[in-house]
Structure 1
Amino acid sequence: MPFPPKPSGSFAGRTLAESTYSPLPAEPHLAGDAPNVLVILIDDAGPALPAPLGGKIDTPTLERIRSAGIGYNRFHTTSMCSPTRASLLTGRNHHRVGAGQIAELANDWDGYSGHIPKSSATIAEVLRNYGYSTAAWGKWHNTPAEETTKAGPYDNWPTGNGFEYFYGFLAGEASQYEPNLVRNTTSVLPPKSPEDGYHLSEDIADDAISWLRDHKALSPDKPFFMYWATGAIHGPHHIMKEWADKYAGAFDAGWDVYREEALAGAKAAGWVPEDAELTPRPESLQGWDEIPDHQKPFQARLMEVCAGFGEHADVQAGRVVDELERLGYGENTIIVYIWGDNGSSGEGQNGTISELLAQNMIPTTIDQHIAALEELGGLDALGTPATDNQYHAAWAWAGSTPYQGMKLMASHLGGTRNPMFIQWPGRIEHDPVPRTQFHHVIDLAPTIYEILGISAPENVNGVHQDPIDGTSFAYSIDDKSADGRHRVQYFEIMASRSIYEDGWIASTTGPRLPWVPGAPPGIATWTPDEDRWELYNLDEDWSQARDLAAEHPDKLAALKELFAIEAAKNKVLPVGAGLWVPVYHPEFRISTPYTEWDFTGDTTRVPEFCAPALGNKPNTVTIDVEVGEAANGVLYKLGGAGGGLTLFVVDGVLTYEYNLFLVQRTTVAASAPLPAGTHSIEVVTSYVEPRPGGPLSVTLRVDGQDAATGVVPVSAPLLFSANDCLDVGRAYGGPVSRAYADRMPFAFEGTIDRFHVAYTM
């Protein structure tokens, strides 16, 4: 690929009279009835959440696809966002395509580079060459973080990976109200504000519907491949109050009771076998009865918000399906609906109003969160633009019923087993009994290729292609009792790992559990050789409830050896390399290579990963401005409502604020307004104690004279936001300070002639 261009069938003579005109018909590369394909991918969603499968979240679109098609209840993901998406789109194991962890935590080992190699072309790239229109919406999360600025390069953006059109966000998460969006290769602002009713899931549904209408009008006979991937229900859990209120009281009994009810519901729905066992709660995870009574309304409301968020996302997917059918595409469109790119996420740990607290390993108490929440309006503030809330990890455990694991646990099925449904009205007859063959997200690409009657290309754009790792499951569509063909599969994320072979799985959690705050004990001397492995016979034990390691040591040893072989083949080594940045060396996180910058006064939407680290490195910001009397507006802001720092003026008073994830705010303000005229403003930041997360000294200077000084007691050692940005001269995205939250974007009423940043360490 690409296929050679169609040759001319005409003869060119010396003159038109001596020439013949007889164009050759285009050479078809597909059957005339090639189906359209729509892949719907929900984010961070465990198998025990949807009501049709025994949970409590209403998912009418999932039920609609299930009731018209077929389901797979032994379908698997990688247990993490970027890895699953890279595998889904390429048909290769995640380490083989550089996605051993999320793109933001990439490092120099091949399996963890964050770059999908051009030797592993995506489904979109292949189908585009075969004549498909290709488009993607929502969460991408497969572009190296250092390449996500307006300056590119763009070859690792969606449009560089086979998608002719993209609208969504490149990072791992986004505010659903104030996302940093791109359309193709252009940074764009949301079409309306949160006050006007904006929500990201609705926006990507609207945009996909518009694209479909244009396609119908302009290329009605051309097949299409659509990849619609929500940012829901990844944190932050953002949803309008009326959606969360639909679940008022639904979770008051707590997560332990939810587990029991969800398993009973899954059995009644025919989704899991009657002999599936409920695995016990880990000792290190709080029981509902251990939660103080005054905290239970907070913990229950967090889950109500998540439930509303999940239902809302499913309903938006349904709007896209509605439009497909309205335009006449329904009968010949394959819809693949995957509920979760991994299990439910425990990254909210003990429950939080600002989820990046956990990633920054900043210890807090639930009472601190509740107290800060009261200042924002109480429980009703959860789910709004004012918070970046995410539920207690035990809700993630409940959402992954009946399994032991959750997101980030490649060791156990709660992290890796996600429901998948397929509808194709013109070809697939509905069957309510789920397929039970073991399959993996790498199997989707070869399945699509087989259905279309095409082969994975040997060369794409001059690059020899790596072999496909996945196994087509097309054989199981018509024969639900067929023997499974995907016989071996390894799993590994951040040293949590397992190996499956013919019904058996060997598992080890590695050195960390996602719900336990801080660095794992003993991590400095950890070696994978010391990890304890478990052994399960999945043909007899659906949920990994009975560890057989002691009874079958030889089987365990053989599987551990098989894992070592698969790890070497797939660039997994060194085991645990995904921990290199977040645990061992946070100072190596992807960042800009520069130590000095000159920005203009209208520089906006610089992703935080690529912006100066103003909140955790010694630095001096120098701003040359011209202002009038009693000026207002933002001079700059980094981060968003859930955490960040900002410099602004209100009635001419120069004010700096450091928002430590809502639980602590530090304000440094001048004692008098700036006089009208030109000024040189400096913000000098240095560590009081030179350690990650240590207190910062902040000094504001005007024309060389100190105007104010303060100390930020605790700083953010990693970053404020996964998706928000640095903005100069105004505040797009979320408002760092509540002082201007109702005046966004609070553009500066003056002129910024120069904005200079320099590290001073």
Structure 2
Amino acid sequence: MRILVAAIVAFFLVDGEAAPQADPAPARPNFVVMIIDDAAFMDLGAYGGEARTPNIDALAARGALFTRYYSSPLCSPSRAMLLTGMDNHLTGVSTIPEVLPREHEGQPGYTMRLEPGVATLAERLKPLGYRTLMTGKWHLGSGEGDLPKAHGFDRSFALDASGADNWEDKSYMPYYADAPWYEDDVPASLPDDFYSSEFIVDQMMTYMDEGDAEAPFFAYLAFMAVHIPVQAPPEFTANYAGVYDAGWDATRAARWERAKERGYVPADAALAPMPANFRPWDSLPAEEQKLYAARMQVNAGMLEAMDHHVGRLIEHLKSTGRYDNTVFVVTSDNGPEPSRGDTDPRLKFWMDLNGYHLDLEGMGEKGSWAFIGPEWAMAAASPHDKFKFLGSEGGIRVPFIMSGAGLGEGGRVDARAFVTDVAPTLLALAGGGPEPDGAKPMTGRSLVPLLRGETDAVYGPDDAIVIEVSGNAAVIKGDYKLTRNQLPHGDARWRLYDLSKDPGETTDLSASFPEIYDDLSTEYAAYSKRVGVLEVPEGYNSLDEVTRHSLVRQQERYRPYLIGGGIALFAIIAGVVLLWRRRKQKA
């Protein structure tokens, strides 16, 4: 017995003092993932854009700013990949429901919801003790069991739509009857003083302050800036008076020059020409120039307003002692939005019925439906070509910033990275964990070795990054890229580019390098078979599909009224006929 006691004492005491204890396990970092909607590669100040984004710029200065990060060309597939680490076709959200062709409806990978076996980052982090929080745009399924709570989020205030008004609780396009907001998967209303960026941050700070203050958290903020309708408080818009008065041609050239100065593109790289059907700025009447310059001012103001509220979130984390142990991610789901709101009389009629205007007076404020259109989208995407919807660099090459606990400070990363890499990177920083029961494996790669300077790249010269959304596709391998863009802004032809010399995608090398063309084509064929790509039908046009889906939705929505109106009209006509016959008989 004495020997046992002595052994116990010896275990806890050394020379009469407590034995040194092992260092406590390092605290798991908090994660704040912020996704901007439709931001171009150079929109943020840290990348050389006109918008004032000092808070995001500060995050970039103390972390890593990526110059070759790729997303998908549309919002839902990008968000599905970011949250799961899996290719979009494997998640069930291959594209967005608004552009889904009839032939693909309900097919595996095209159900427009996260399918069984698809685990989100929230579901993977919860077993590690994380509180999981989400505010903003969801757009990953609308049926029972499709909203955030069903996919691992403890608290959420989510918009289940591609967008909505930023000032009011209402729809922004005929496809939707209203703005479907949910809190913890239950229909919810917005406050009277709602502005999207402010509300998304306020709600997240409320959720952060609930529950166990010692538990790490995963916070996913999906901003509505700068999705249409482009709207911003006038005090932010006013900061850009005159900035865009020279027009889209001048702005595009200026961003191209800044890109060369910063080394994003070679000094002798060509700028892609404007499409022939796009309007030269000088061809617009003076009044129309004022309208379009004002719209771009609102766009920059909306980015600044978002950054202002990001700053409030950062200050809140500092004041509560959680900032130093937080990892931040800032990115965009795809490139800039080219859609216009002033060319379709049906859309104009819908706007009139729903309290929207396109006027200069009050641009960007409540009731305004502002947009930037295809020419400004081309300018915003500079030094790259094209924009959202397409597999061109302007559609898929977007800003990506990571900074915070455990990461290096103040570096620029020129290595390739992909949206599926975000989830495995954050999971690795959290210490990893077992696969959830029945979960399909991630397809992305951890960027941790790259962020910590342990390697120069996680994708070698023989590794291909492949992207496909609604027929718009890209295969990026080493310096080369094979890409295809569908109607209405492309022609569905494959083209080959050398991105190291021609990031503007101006010179098709398909005929000059047939062996490289064939190699990347083989990569695409293997990828397509592996993930279950369904090719779009001949003549597919995303704009036509949006119109078709909107008309179908409206017919379904108003069918009871149309039927009721038809019955009432028939009754009136029958009554008139009956009355006429009676009078005729009396005569």
Shorter-normalised TM range:
0.7 to 0.9
Question: Is 2:491 the counterpart of 1:491?
Answer: no
SS of equivalent to 2:240: coil
Number of the residue aligned with 1:298: 291
Q: CA deviation at 1:143?
A: 1.4
Number of the residue aligned with 2:66: 72
Number of the residue aligned with 1:343: 335
Structure 1 residue corresponding to 2:398, chosen from 405, 418, 426: 418
Q: CA deviation at 1:478?
A: 2.0
Number of the residue aligned with 2:35: 41
* Equivalent pair of 1:166/1:184 in contact (CA under 8 Å): yes
TM-score, normalised to structure 1's length?
0.65
The 1-side partners of 2:454 and 2:397 are apart by: 19
Number of the residue aligned with 2:502: 541
The 2-side partners of 1:321 and 1:48 are apart by: 23
Number of the residue aligned with 1:479: 453
SS of equivalent to 1:317: helix
Structure 2 residue corresponding to 1:324, chosen from 308, 314, 317: 317
Q: Which has the higher strand share?
A: 1
Number of the residue aligned with 1:506: 482
* Equivalent pair of 2:449/2:455 in contact (CA under 8 Å): no
Question: Is 2:521 the counterpart of 1:560?
Answer: yes
Gaps of 5+ in 1: 1-29, 148-152, 515-519, 521-530, 592-607, 622-682, 686-697, 707-761
The 2-side partners of 1:493 and 1:535 are apart by: 18
Structure 2 residue corresponding to 1:258, chosen from 251, 258, 262: 251
* Equivalent pair of 1:105/1:590 in contact (CA under 8 Å): no
Q: Which has the higher helix share?
A: 2
Structure 1 residue corresponding to 2:563, chosen from 620, 641, 646: 620
* Equivalent pair of 2:358/2:369 in contact (CA under 8 Å): no
* Equivalent pair of 2:356/2:368 in contact (CA under 8 Å): no
The 2-side partners of 1:269 and 1:539 are apart by: 15
Question: Is 2:186 the counterpart of 1:186?
Answer: yes
Q: Which whole-Å deviations, capped at 9, do the CAs of 1:59-84 have from their partners, x for residues lacking one?
A: 11221111111111111100100000
SS of equivalent to 1:620: helix
Q: CA deviation at 1:199?
A: 0.8
Q: Which whole-Å deviations, capped at 9, do the CAs of 1:146-194 have from their partners, x for residues lacking one?
A: x2xxxxx2x11001111111113111101011133211122122111xx
Tell me which moved more, 73-82 or 260-269: 260-269
Question: Is 2:79 the counterpart of 1:82?
Answer: no
The 2-side partners of 1:346 and 1:579 are apart by: 18
Q: Which whole-Å deviations, capped at 9, do the CAs of 1:272-304 have from their partners, x for residues lacking one?
A: 554544222122222212223331111111111
The 1-side partners of 2:47 and 2:265 are apart by: 9
Identity among equivalent positions (%) equals 26
Gaps of 5+ in 2: 1-23, 170-178, 577-587
SS of equivalent to 1:334: strand
Number of the residue aligned with 2:96: 102
Q: CA deviation at 1:612?
A: 4.2
The 2-side partners of 1:285 and 1:581 are apart by: 19
Number of matched pairs: 537
Number of the residue aligned with 2:415: 437
SS of equivalent to 2:413: coil
SS of equivalent to 2:299: helix
Number of the residue aligned with 1:171: 161
Letter in 2 for 1:389: A
* Equivalent pair of 1:54/1:267 in contact (CA under 8 Å): no
SS of equivalent to 1:380: coil
Letter in 2 for 1:175: D
Question: In 2 relative to 1, CA 276–224 (structure 1 residues): closer, same or farther, beyond 3 Å?
Answer: farther
The 2-side partners of 1:580 and 1:99 are apart by: 19
SS of equivalent to 1:435: strand
Number of the residue aligned with 2:407: 428
Letter in 2 for 1:418: V
Letter in 1 for 2:440: D
Letter in 1 for 2:95: Q
Question: Is 2:176 the counterpart of 1:202?
Answer: no
Question: In 2 relative to 1, CA 272–555 (structure 1 residues): closer, same or farther, beyond 3 Å?
Answer: closer
Q: Which whole-Å deviations, capped at 9, do the CAs of 1:593-646 have from their partners, x for residues lacking one?
A: xxxxxxxxxxxxxxx78x9421x898234xxxxxxxxxxxxxxxxxxxxxxxxx
The 2-side partners of 1:402 and 1:184 are apart by: 41
Tell me which moved more, 30-39 or 554-563: 30-39
Question: In 2 relative to 1, CA 295–104 (structure 1 residues): closer, same or farther, beyond 3 Å?
Answer: closer
Q: CA deviation at 1:455?
A: 4.4
* Equivalent pair of 1:239/1:383 in contact (CA under 8 Å): yes
SS of equivalent to 1:72: strand
* Equivalent pair of 2:356/2:367 in contact (CA under 8 Å): no
The 2-side partners of 1:489 and 1:546 are apart by: 21
* Equivalent pair of 1:581/1:589 in contact (CA under 8 Å): no
Q: CA deviation at 1:438?
A: 0.8
Q: CA deviation at 1:428?
A: 2.3
* Equivalent pair of 1:582/1:589 in contact (CA under 8 Å): no
Question: In 2 relative to 1, CA 296–224 (structure 1 residues): closer, same or farther, beyond 3 Å?
Answer: same
Q: Which whole-Å deviations, capped at 9, do the CAs of 1:51-106 have from their partners, x for residues lacking one?
A: 33222111112211111111111111001000000000011111111212114455
The 2-side partners of 1:504 and 1:84 are apart by: 22
Question: In 2 relative to 1, CA 586–290 (structure 1 residues): closer, same or farther, beyond 3 Å?
Answer: closer
Structure 2 residue corresponding to 1:136, chosen from 119, 129, 134: 134
Number of the residue aligned with 2:278: 285
Number of the residue aligned with 2:117: 119
* Equivalent pair of 1:62/1:314 in contact (CA under 8 Å): yes
Root-mean-square deviation (Å): 3.3
Question: In 2 relative to 1, CA 86–291 (structure 1 residues): closer, same or farther, beyond 3 Å?
Answer: same
Number of the residue aligned with 1:723: none
